Amino acid sequence: MIDTWDELIHKCNSCTSCDLAKTRTNVVVGVGNKNAEVLFIGEGPGENEDLRGEPFVGRGGQLLDKMLAAVDLDRNKNIYIANMVKCRPPKNRDPLPQEQEQCLGWLRNQVQLIRPKIIVCLGRVSATRLIKKDMKITKEHGIFFEKNGVLLMATLHPAALLRNPNNKPDAFQDFLKLRDKIKEICDHTYD
Ligand code: URA
Ligand code: SF4
């Protein structure tokens, strides 16, 4: 494990461990408060993220920021946001299993440095890898699962909400449950 952020960011930015390195513009390491008690994990960078080097900066990101703001969460204040893979899969295809496994070391290292109390999986890709293989987001969103002393919960991916706005109330309920859980177990997220 790498034990400083400077070194992690530097090395991750020059990673060529999988083929996604060949087509990326920027490595998207993550954004937010490195002492956050809540960590959000998406799938992988899209076009806007690849160009900007920051996660969730497109239309889905704007929706995510709005839902976060509704429960007093803010990427520039009290949470950290990362992805399963740090480089954009071509044409936004799902990251391949071997790409995810190659990249997982970076995410594990980020988790070791942040030591979050709660991890929120945004969408199926992170939920099936991090919570359980047969995770069904449509049925099991908003439920907290405990793993190694960390609570994990999945919610619908913002891009899925843009495709299917009927599901926005369900996602909003998840954010309210998250707010309640934060109030219950976190020390300084709402300071
Ligand atoms: N979708 C994701 O899963 N992550 C991003 O950073 C952007 C879009
Ligand atoms: Fe390295 Fe991850 Fe990028 Fe692959 S996706 S090159 S493992 S940082």
| Ligand found nearest the CA of 161 | 1
Distance 158 CA to ligand 1 centre (A): 8
The mean per-residue pLDDT over the stretch 153-174 comes to 98
pLDDT tens figures, 16-62 = 999 999 999 999 999 999 999 999 999 999 999 999 999 999 999 99
The pLDDT of residue 191: 85
Percent of the chain clearing pLDDT 70 (strictly above): 100
Q: Domain-by-domain residue ranges, the chain? A: 5-184
Q: Which residues line ligand 2 (CB under 6 A)?
A: 12, 15-18, 20-21, 27, 85-87, 99, 102-103, 106
Helix (H, G, I), strand (E, B) or coil at 123: coil
| Ligand found nearest the CA of 29 | 2
The burial class, CB within 10 Å (0-12 / 13-18 / 19+), for 138 is exposed
Residue 142 scores a pLDDT above 90:
yes
The mean per-residue pLDDT over the stretch 140-163 comes to 98
Please tell me the CATH code under which domain 5-184 is placed: 3.40.470.10
